[in-house]
Chains A and B, each alone.
Chain A
Amino acid sequence: MSKKIGDVILDLQNISLRFGGVKALTDISFNVKEHEIRAIIGPNGAGKSSMLNVINGVYHPQEGKIFWHGKERKKMEPHMASRQNIARTFQNIALFKGMTVLDNIMTGRITKMKSNFIEHALWFGRARNEELEHRKKVEEVIDFLEIQHIRKTPVGRLPYGLQKRVELARALAAEPSMLLLDEPMAGMNVEEKQDMCRFILDVNDQYGTTIVLIEHDMGVVMDISDRVVVLDYGKKIGDGVPDEVKNNEDVIKAYLGAGH
């Protein structure tokens, strides 16, 4: 791969997160560099999804600091993440079930629309032009992910694999600089996984999008990611390029169990 990995854009320092008495994350530090594909792996319940939720402001860690492009980030609400160009997908698909594929993807561009509800009600001037202009962008994403044929289908009726793809489309429609993917390939067959890998690499390649991804399939992770961070019981036990991580004692133990 000939891509150029840039500077650190997201730096998490000593993050701890608790729910009541339950410790979800303990003293975790790692960073993400521009344009890289960064994987977070670990056994179930290791705190991977919580980590993503911390990054985009759904959860607020009790301790630790987050630096975004070198500036310390204050406590933020979820909707602010998208204004910082962070988009994400969810472990259990979080599409809007009652809406069509097209409408779902259009919501990805909602923060980029400037017209207000009165203009919408009158369907006039700016509102109309914006709809067309953003529709064009959305169609690009639809072409990119090869889902033209299901454009007007309500997402509730789609099979699982396609729903995952639509969710990715919605995230991409926001033209994010950083994309958080929570198990984008869970429950897919080999072919669907290959497609998804291709899309992820293409996004990274063509748009230079930084990608943080949670995935269980080790083959995939080792193949496509530039660096990997390993969590277990809410603690960081490994961090580095795939080959380093693969040979890390603690990581092997966590995955195979201490007895082996």
Chain B
Amino acid sequence: MLYREAGQFKTNYAADQQVFPIRQDRIGIIVLLAVAFLGVPMFASAYWFSAILIPFLIFALAALGLNILTGYAGQLSLGSAAFMAVGAYAAYNFQLRIEGIPIIVSFICGGLTAAGVGILFGLPSLRIKGFYLAVATLAAQFFIVWCLTKFPWLSNNSSSGVISTQQLIIFGHELTTPVEKYLLVLSIVVVMAMAAKNLVRSSTGRAWMAVRDMDVAASVIGIKLMPTKLLAFAISSFYCGVAGALYAFCYLGSVEPDGFSLDMSFRILFMIIIGGVGSIMGSFLGAAFILLLPIFLDVALPFFAELFGLPFSSATVSHIQILVFGALIMFFLIVEPHGLARLWQIAKEKLRLWPFPH
């Protein structure tokens, strides 16, 4: 089947404004979803679910959250991990303190709590921009993690703030196997990714991008800067919050505040830089890349070391990992600032012309 839009004429605006205007894209997405929901559970092993697929989906969701704020609304944040922590701890506390609250509801409440905190730390964005704001978001990173460590109530009086999450019960059925957890995470991520796609193609998204591209012009057009920016902070933090709740409940099962470190925030930032700033799909591509790269290096480096007879300690491997991360970030920013998503788009454009390139 050729990837081609020729002959697919749009006769009304509704057809032109579909999520995926090209028929082949629609088919592609359906196939992808079918594989994710049906194919993968049949074939993947438990290791794949718990070590790769679940964290991939969760980080993709967090990256999506950051992308809404940074990629679409243009407000750089270095504190995404802290908002994940808020989501995780809030969801835990809702489960703990409200009798019989469904797990999904407490995830949503976790997200909403993160959104509230996000608005609070987004307030400085009304007066400061760019680097100043980026540095200001570090305040969120350090302050939130400190609070979660120091206020015993938040972690139900556990030492140093470690929490062990409650059981995942949905409609009376307890989710225990990796497959079940995977399907839960996948469903949530798919729904939220669709919602994000809708947001960014609506007037909400246009307002964000207008503020990102030129805020003075945006305000002259009639966009109120304050609610637009704060909404971006809120929704972004909501996504990060839900991702954090999933991280705690469906991935690790037990988390501590220090786990949501500045390093994790940077990793999420790297995901959107490499995946594509201002692209929903880029968030997924970037998350996959950043998660798979260390696994690849872990395997590849000792292999090459042996090949060339070099003595590689595990410390060296971890240093090389960090070095490669850094180098890749610079490489992408220089060579392809729009990331993997842009490469994908270029490939599609080539494909559209194939096999007659001229």
Contact = CB atoms under 8 A, between A and B. Distances in A.
Interface of A: 56, 58, 77-79, 81-83, 87-88, 90, 94-99, 103, 106-111, 113, 115, 117, 120-123, 127-128, 130-132, 135-136, 139, 170, 174
B214 A94 contact: yes
A54 to B, nearest CB: 13
B198 A96 contact: no
Given A56-B220, A136-B13, A131 B213 contact: no
Nearest to B338: A98
A174 B222 contact: yes
Contacts of A88: 220
A111 B222 contact: yes
B199 A117 contact: yes
A98 B212 contact: yes
Contact of B17 (A77, A95, A131): A131
A127 B196 CA distance: 14
Interface stretch (B175-183, B223-231, B319-327): B223-231
B314 interface: no
Interface string B160-200: 00000000000000000000000000000000000110110
A109 B210 CA distance: 13
Contacts of B218: 96, 107
Nearest to A97: B213
B346 interface: no
A117 B213 CA distance: 20
B331 to A, nearest CB: 22
How big is the B interface, by class?
20 to 34
Contacts of A132: 13-14, 17
A96 B209 contact: yes
Contacts of A79: 219-225
B219 A120 contact: no
Contacts of B199: 117, 120-121
Report the 5 A-B pairs with minimum CB-CB distance, sorted nearest first.
A82-B222, A120-B202, A94-B217, A96-B213, A111-B222
Contacts of A58: 216, 219-220
Given A58-B219, A107-B203, A115-B203, 18 more contacts: A78-B216, A79-B223, A79-B224, A81-B220, A82-B220, A96-B213, A98-B212, A99-B206, A108-B221, A110-B223, A117-B231, A120-B204, A120-B205, A121-B196, A121-B198, A123-B202, A131-B202, A136-B13
Contact of B210 (A107, A111, A115, A121): A107
B235 interface: yes
B278 interface: yes
Nearest to A132: B13
A223 B345 CA distance: 48
B91 interface: no
Contacts of B14: 128, 132
Interface of B: 13-14, 17, 195-196, 198-199, 202-207, 209-210, 212-214, 216-225, 231, 235, 278
Nearest to A119: B202
Contact of A135 (B17, B206, B217, B220): B17
A111 B209 CA distance: 15
Contacts of A103: 206, 209
B214 A96 contact: yes
B213, B216, B220, B278 — which one has the most chain A CB atoms within 10 A of its CB?
Answer: B220
Given A120-B203, A120-B204, A121-B195, A174 B221 contact: yes
A226 to B, nearest CB: 25
A110 B222 contact: yes
Nearest to A83: B222
Given A78-B220, A117-B235, A122-B195, A107 B207 contact: yes
B290 to A, nearest CB: 24
27 contacts: A56-B220, A79-B219, A79-B222, A83-B222, A90-B217, A94-B214, A94-B217, A96-B209, A96-B212, A96-B218, A98-B213, A98-B278, A99-B209, A103-B206, A103-B209, A106-B203, A107-B210, A107-B218, A107-B221, A109-B203, A111-B221, A111-B222, A113-B203, A117-B231, A121-B198, A131-B13, A132-B14
A135 B15 CA distance: 12
Contacts of B235: 117
A111 B224 CA distance: 9
A94 B216 contact: yes
Contacts of B212: 96, 98
Contacts of A127: 202
Nearest to B74: A98
Contacts of B231: 117
A73 B23 CA distance: 53
Contacts of A83: 222
A132 to B, nearest CB: 5
Contacts of B225: 79
Contacts of B13: 131-132, 135-136, 139
